[in-house]
Structure 1
Amino acid sequence: MAERTVTVASKVGLHARPAALVARIAAAQPVVVTIAKAGGAPVAASSVLNLMTLGAAHGDSVVIAAEGDGAEAAVNAVADLVAKDLDG
C-alpha cells in the first residue's frame, strides 16, 4: 500500500474547483485512491462530493492512499495536486 500525508494548500480547502481538479486526477488513476483527514475515515478521492464533505480546509493534513499496481504513482499524482494552491 502506498500512502502519503500532505497539507492542503488551496485557500478554500478541498472545495469547489480544487475538489473537481483532484477528483478528475484521482479518477484517471489505474487504482482507487482514497483520502482521509487525520483520524477520519478514508473516502474515494475520485468523488467531488466525497472531497467536499471531507471538510479538508486550508492547512489541514490529509492522508492519500492507494493499493495495487501503480499505487505509488497514483498517490503521488493526487498528493502533488493537493499540495498545490489550486485557487487560481
Structure 2
Amino acid sequence: MVEKEVLITFENGLHARPAAELVKLAKAFHSTIVLDNGKKKVNVKSVLSMMSSSIKQGETVRVKVEGDDEEEAMLSIVNFLKK
C-alpha cells in the first residue's frame, strides 16, 4: 500500500465534473483507491461515493492505493488532483 497527502486545488473542490473524471481515471487501474479526508473514506471508483464526498478546495486528503499497479495509479491520481 502507498499513501500520499494531496491538497485539493480545484476551484469548487471535487464537484461533479472533476469527480466524474477522477472516477474514470481510477477505473483504468486494478488497485483499490481511497481518498480519506479524516471524516470520510471514499472509494474513488464509485461515482456515488465521489459525488457525496463533499471534498472542498483547500482541503487536504490522504490518497491510499493498494494493488498490483499501485505506484502507477498513485502517480496518475496525484497528478490529476494537483492540476
TM-score normalised per structure 2: 0.90
Give the CA RMSD over aligned residues.
1.2
The number of equivalent residue pairs is 83
Matched, 1:12 2:12: yes
Aligned letter for 1:41? Answer: K
> Does residue 1:31 correspond to 2:19, yes or no?
no
Percent of matched pairs sharing the same residue: 33
Paired position in structure 1 for 2:50: 51
Q: Aligned equivalents of 2:5 and 2:72: distance in 1?
A: 14
Deviation, structure 1 residue 68: 2.1
Contact preservation (8 Å) 1:6, 1:83: yes
Q: CA deviation at 1:40?
A: 2.4
Unaligned runs of 5+ in 2: none
Q: Which runs of 5 or more residues in structure 1 are unaligned?
A: none
Which 4+ stretches in 1 moved above 2 angstroms? Answer: none
